[in-house]
Amino acid sequence: MKDVLDTDALTPHFCVCSDLLTPSQPQRLVDDLQHCEVVILEWHAPRETGGRDDVVYNIVCKKCRADRRSCSHCDDNVDFVPRQLGLTETRVFISNLLAHTLYSFEIQAVNGVSNKSPYPAQHVTIDITTNQAAPSIVPIMHQISSTMNSFTLSWPQPEQPNGIILDYELRYYEKDHAEINSTILRSQTNTARVEGLRPGTVYVVQVRARTVAGFGRYSSKMCFQTLTDDDFKSELREQLPLIAGSAAAGVVFIVSLIAISIVCSRKRAYTKEAVYSDKLQHYSTGRELSLRADMSNCPSPLGCPTHFSGSPGMKIYIDPFTYEDPNEAVREFAKEIDVSTVKIEEVIGAGEFGEVYKGRLKLPGKREIFVAIKTLKAGYVEKQRRDFLSEASIMGQFDHPNIIRLEGVVTKSRPVMILTEFMENGALDSFLRQNDGQFTVIQLVGMMRGIAAGMKYLSEMNYVHRDLAARNILVNSNLVCKVSDFGLSRYLQDDTSDPSYTSSLGGKIPVRWTAPEAIAYRKFTSASDVWSYGIVMWEVMSFGERPYWDMSNQDVINAIEQDYRLPPPMDCPSALHQLMLDCWQKDRNVRPRFADIVSTLDKMIRNPTSLKAVANIPAVPSQPLLDRSIPDFNTFSSVEDWLTAIKMGQYRDNFLNSGFTSLQLVAQMTSEDLLRIGVTLAGHQKKILNNIQSMRVQMSQPPNTVA
């Protein structure tokens, strides 16, 4: 009998079950770019379905650099209709794309067993570059001035102009009226004067930019108010001395020019340049001209900035404690409010003297407004009452859109109250921490500009704040920042191991906001306020991080004495960090003035491209910078400890519930992993990824060995 080779017995048997096969890739993918923001993708079903009838499609969207070297997942605001995942149709509408941007779209075909397959889903990819688009929204607006019937507004250009801005369109209407009653105004520049308004009225304003591609979207709604008749008369009274002084100065100037021309004609031995130079060096209008220390090498005042000791017509701050009877200062600078017009609603905090409430104020003939109400607790002595009301005597002298406004006081009933305008978003430091990474650079610059404008006003009134910090800046619903906290003056307590400023009521003020000359010599000036302002800038750009981190006050003082300064916060533009360093000059005479700071920030707002360059610390920086040490992951026993150390503890559950339960697993995470577990804020992603990168570096280093 002939031997027969049973090949089936020699060949391994593989069971290929049709119900475990995944589909092949979709076919014939085509795109239809409707306009710059919308694209339609269409495809045909895969040739192989895996023997199943439950094939669906997933869309993976990536935004790429023009050179295609790197791509990242699309932002959350990109819309997919009908959906991005689990599509049963072979067509999808994708909108909210950026203009002039390269996108890569991946169409995956999956079925009910794809998640059990060891292989990735089969897919087809298409690259699309979007066209020119209308500009993005204008991020913020500022009120430059106002009258009874008009106000002037300014704004930066959109962050994504997407071409040359042709003009801007403003839409405004009275807050109490419907939006359908809007009025339209066009402007060729990023400044506009809105006229024909009603006195003492709040208007809602929006603005949008236009390019050849059309109008962008309107900005968010912001509110601006015209002056009341009383406001206008008060402002006019304040400006009359300035007008008279300017007129007198003009007369003196003309007479002086005539005198100069006579002298020039007689002294022919001198050239015109010599005569004019000599005369202009000594020309004065009666005001004292003082040279700063940094002007000592100037050939003449013409080549250097000058500072007049007083400006004609400018109100000068009066210390209420110079009054023999401090109650007289309260009567002069603060308006008495009838307690029947005040309605207390809820506690919002506690102050040095008592609780702080949110409430309402309805004065006769005026609309009802929200107010913050500071109260003086029961059982006070007369000195505490005077000290409490002194803040009202100080605030009542100020009138500026970036200074907290005093509404009045209640002194003829109990409890004694100070009423100020209500600021919906509270203190700036906590507001920034709650909204970490959610504001654009230009919005942050707008906030800092407002603070600087308020401080410029105070410095021109010869008022020194002494405690400028983000915790003492309040923020309203329009993101307008206002300087607050005008309490008692502080003094340096000598008999303490922790040098910090202490109020006469014992409230400590950390030295990390205080200029070195104020710490060493108790010398408080507007220049020391400028130093503090630089720290506030750092707080704003770091979204409320604590200056100098966990360093002790003594370590901060020692570092400053050795010329160390804070490094730039993450993603901080180099121009802003340089301005911070200017504010932290050891010689107070060479620090910028608040007028200079406002001017610098205005230029940045008008030219946002100046904020594109991010500050990087060079190998050998010109100014020694402090370095916050990177946490050593070996010191952490859990992912939760590590997240807490890098101040990202709010994502604890996101990590643990997604299976990232060890630092070794965390070290392998990518940006896609962070998106998948719910870390969507770009700033938080970058912060976590930077720390993950540091963790990888530490893991790759060999452990230290002992010889």
Which residues belong to the annotated binding site for ATP? 374
Instruction: Compute the distance between CA of residue 476 and CA of residue 641 in angstroms, rounded to an integer.
Output: 35
Q: How far apart are CA 405 and CA 399, in angstroms?
A: 7
CB 224 within 8 A of CB 146: yes
Tallying the residues shown for the chain, one arrives at 707
- CA 42/CA 93 separation, integer angstroms: 9
Handedness of CA 286, 291, 292, 298 (dihedral sign): positive
**Distance separating alpha carbons of residues 567 and 580, to the nearest angstrom:** 10
**What sections of 283-376 are H helices per DSSP?**
326-333
List active site positions: 467
d(CA 491, CA 75) in angstroms, rounded, equals: 51
- For residue 506, the one-letter residue type is G
Task: Provide the token pair at 187.
Answer: 């402007």
Rounded CA-CA distance 342/357 in Å is 11
Q: Would you tell me how many other CB atoms lie within 10 Å of the CB of residue 441?
A: 19
- In Å, the largest CA–CA distance within the chain is 145
Q: How far is CA 538 from the centre of its chain?
A: 10
CB atoms within 10 A of CB 9: 7
Do 481 and 475 contact (CB within 8 A), yes or no?
Answer: yes
Neighbours of 190 (CB within 10 A): 19
Which tokens in the block code for residue 286? Answer: 């009666």
Cα 114 from Cα 107, distance rounded (Å): 14
Phi-psi region of 68 (alpha: psi -120 to 50; beta: other; left: phi over 0): left
CB-CB contact of 205 with 221 (8 Å): yes
DSSP 612: -
Q: How far is CA 88 from CA 53, 62, 119, 507, in A?
A: 11, 22, 22, 65
User: Of the candidates 176, 249, 256, 171, which has an alpha carbon nearest to the alpha carbon of residue 217?
Assistant: 171
Distances (CA, A) of 234 to 199, 313, 409: 14, 13, 20
Cis amide prior to 139 (ω within 30 degrees): no
The answer to whether the CB of 45 falls within 8 A of the CB of 90 is yes
Structure tokens at 588: 């107070």
User: Among candidates 60, 31, 58, 26, which has minimal Cα distance to 128?
Assistant: 31
Question: What residues form the annotated binding site?
Answer: 374
The answer to whether residues 104 and 125 touch, using CB atoms and an 8 Å cutoff, is yes
Q: b/e for 263-288, b at 16 or more Cβ within 10 A?
A: ebeeeeeeeeeebeeeeeeeeebeee
Tokens, residue 18: 């049709």
526-541 vs 574-583: helix crossing angle, rounded to 10:
150
Tell me the C-alpha distance between 485 and 394, whole Å: 10
What single DSSP character describes residue 600? H
Based on the number of CB atoms within 10 Å of its own CB, is 200 exposed (0-12), middle (13-18) or buried (19 or more)? middle
